[in-house]
Chains A and B, each alone.
Chain A
Amino acid sequence: MRKGIQSWLDERFGLTGITDFLTKKTVPIHKHTIWYYTGSAILLFFAIQVITGFMLVLYYKPTLEMANASVARIMTDIPLGWIIRSVHSWSASFMIAFVFVHLLSIWIAKSYRRPRELTWMSGVLLLVISLLFGFTGYLLPWDDLSFSATKVGTDIPRAIPVVGAWVTNLLRGGEDVTGDTLTRFFGIHVCMLPVFLFILLAIHIYLVQKQGMSLPLEAEGKQEKVKEIPFWPNFVFREMIVWLLLVGILFSIAIFFPPSLEKAADVMAPAPEGIKPEWYFLFLFQTLKIFPAHVLFISGEMLAVLLMIFAGVLFFFLPFFDNRPTGTKGKIITLLAYVFILYALIMSVWSLL
């Protein structure tokens, strides 16, 4: 019976190619294997985001009048709604945390080098999309905090020369953050970003499969073969253990620390004290804060934003600056990674003081 269905489907889809590939795929085992798990952890949290997102959108109402009240309803009236929202909110943080870890591990291991340049670049774009998911999602409960954070966040592009004001208007759907911004962010969050993410994710995963797992530097040069285990079932089962652990941690935190919901934002009210973006934007937020009002002949804000864009572009094109053959160490690049980690940590902690 099972065989029959399998061959029927195979005749039409040509599945044997894929299943053959998966049964033959191997994963190298060495002391840095642990970093391979971060990719599937991101996928796990993304899957949780999709499922809980499908659920939340059943009740969420993306309008000025209804947004805050509909989230309140999810938190209070809908059976187990508070857990679903809490899991969605925490899983977003977990996902972005793992995206950072994934990226830094690849940065330090230099796995972006030839032939994996496009894998790296699609990965950086996936990071940008993840951050945009976080940014647009943060506004949706429409409370004081999320409203003010969005005002600040959407005002930052204004500092870009020439196109800045236009970008801010595009993001906000007008001069100011209004109900139109909310509806727009909702559309971006649930329609546009998922489409772009799935396309990039498909490219990213295809490239990873096509090129195989990258090996750490010290193993790359050596002649003897690195130990390998089959992807299916050996490695997948190990991944499943990691997923179980992560799901356990996520749900425990989500149950004990559900996100709050303040009263609905009043567009005319003064900004509340202590407005903060999500934790993954804190280091950028603090960077903007420490720049003086004027640096030489341009505004400090413009300089800060231009520097950030410049750093982002360098980051995106990293494989082309560091295009040495695999196996060379690249000490400066490694150092830069640690400098970045240190900088982000110090700035984030500073912003909380």
Chain B
Amino acid sequence: MKLKHSLFSRRQFLNGIIGGWLGAFLASLVYPVVKFIFPPYQEPDEVILPFSDFKDMRPNSVRSFAWGSKLGLVKKNDDDMYFAFVGVCTHLDCNVAYLNEQRKFFCACHDGWYDENGINIGGPPPKPLRRLTLIIVQEELIIQKESPEGNS
């Protein structure tokens, strides 16, 4: 039945109310499911390592550490300066290796190349390796998410 001045019939109104309620109810069931299936993951703000583990590194070499659940790399340059990278290729997430003879980072998955400063120079990687801030305070290496200035 359609009333004279009504925009919709009683049937449409009821269908809308019940259907809308049912939709909201189902959404309230789906919400916890979606929340549940994504585990909480937070990238660490900083990682603190004993400097003694890295003191004996030879110049032009890298040593790995855990940056959350990703590979982190500490690199010692020829001038005895330390740098830190996230050792994950920016192309498709493979872990990279440092080839010290060629002074390059190499990703074996799709033949990606980065120079010794982590800048992408060949192959598919679209971006440089992610840099982390590295500070040496007394006997500790403090590695943090990169800030605009960077390193030491």
Mark A residues whose CB is within 8 Å of B. 51, 55, 58-59, 77-81, 83-84
Contacts and interface: CB of A to CB of B under 8 A. Distances in A.
Contact of B38 (A51, A79, A83, A84): A79
B137 interface: no
Contact of B32 (A58, A59, A84): A84
A79 B33 contact: no
B40 A77 contact: yes
Contact of B39 (A51, A59, A83, A84): A59
A83 B33 CA distance: 10
A294 to B, nearest CB: 53
Give the 9 A-B CB pairs with smallest separation, nearest first: A79-B35, A80-B32, A80-B35, A80-B36, A55-B36, A84-B36, A78-B39, A79-B36, A58-B37
Given A58-B36, A77-B40, A79-B40, 7 more contacts: A77-B39, A79-B35, A79-B36, A80-B32, A80-B35, A80-B36, A83-B32
Interface in B8-28: none
Nearest to B35: A79
B40 A78 contact: yes
Contacts of B39: 59, 77-78
B70 to A, nearest CB: 19
Interface string B29-64: 000110111111000000000000000000000000
A51 B33 contact: yes
Contacts of A55: 33, 36-37
A65 to B, nearest CB: 19
B61 to A, nearest CB: 35
B24 to A, nearest CB: 13
A86 to B, nearest CB: 11
Contacts of A83: 32
Nearest to A59: B39
A197 to B, nearest CB: 22
23 contacts: A51-B33, A55-B33, A55-B36, A55-B37, A58-B36, A58-B37, A59-B39, A77-B39, A77-B40, A78-B36, A78-B39, A78-B40, A79-B35, A79-B36, A79-B38, A79-B40, A80-B32, A80-B35, A80-B36, A81-B36, A83-B32, A84-B32, A84-B36
